[in-house]
Chain A
Amino acid sequence: GENVEQHPSTLSVQEGDSAVIKCTYSDSASNYFPWYKQELGKRPQLIIDIRSNVGEKKDQRIAVTLNKTAKHFSLHITETQPEDSAVYFCAAFDPQRGTYKYIFGTGTRLKVLA
């Protein structure tokens, strides 16, 4: 089955700097890769996603890149702000054998220092 690895587990950046979080997946059949932001005590919220037919997607300060050959995808946050501090999870959507599981990474705790 699918396995998703996420790095780093913690990341501290100065306000205004960029942050990059990387994930790798194992199943080449996975075709949808969402990123979630989870603030303390709250539900995971979708912030951006990418499908396997594109290599990059951007939404204001957030972008995601996908390398299908290498089976890795990354989240890029530019001009970080204190409110970006949260735990970020990547996920891979595995449609094999007619089931539709989302497998999550272990999370990255991002701290934006003012």
Chain B
Amino acid sequence: DTGVSQDPRHKITKRGQNVTFRCDPISEHNRLYWYRQTLGQGPEFLTYFQNEAQLEKSRLLSDRFSAERPKGSFSTLEIQRTEQGDSAMYLCASSSRDKRAGANVLTFGAGSRLTVL
């Protein structure tokens, strides 16, 4: 397990299409986060899972966005009917409350860059 993996790394799509991103967290991490980052800005919180339960969604997450974490392992983030304003880097991160795993240390994936034409 070399860290948090995200796929695809880059996605170019036309406005109105649906896209799905996948995140595989560090295996012993029970918390998984999705953030969005635009150029020159800090990561903005989108949603968070503890195991398979989605515990919080940001107001930034419109009803076109949906995230799942079946079985508490990998997660998917789907954007329906994409808009040009959705163009951003979508970062996944994971953490654990277990002190042996570095309690609360957040580890990021390399991100999935979305470009909506």
A residues near B (Cβ < 8 Å) are 6, 32, 34, 36, 42-46, 49, 89, 91, 93, 98-107
Contact = CB atoms under 8 A, between A and B. Distances in A.
A100 B49 CA distance: 9
Contacts of B44: 104
Given A104-B43, A107-B41, A46 B105 contact: yes
5 contacts: A34-B106, A46-B107, A104-B42, A106-B41, A107-B42
Contacts, number: 52
B91 A43 contact: yes
A43 B90 CA distance: 11
A98 B105 contact: no
A101 B58 CA distance: 10
A103 B55 contact: no
Given A34-B105, A34-B106, A44 B48 contact: no
Contact of B55 (A34, A45, A46, A98): A98
B110 A89 contact: no
Contacts of A93: 104
A89 B48 contact: no
Contacts of B48: 99-101
Contacts of B106: 34, 46, 91, 102
B40 interface: yes
A34 B26 CA distance: 19
Nearest to A109: B40
Nearest to A49: B105
Nearest to B42: A104
A26 B97 CA distance: 23
A11 B110 CA distance: 25
A6 B109 CA distance: 23
A43 B110 CA distance: 5
Contacts of A102: 33, 45, 93, 106
Interface in B78-113: 91, 93, 95, 97, 104-111
Given A34-B105, A44-B91, A100 B40 contact: no
Contacts of A105: 42
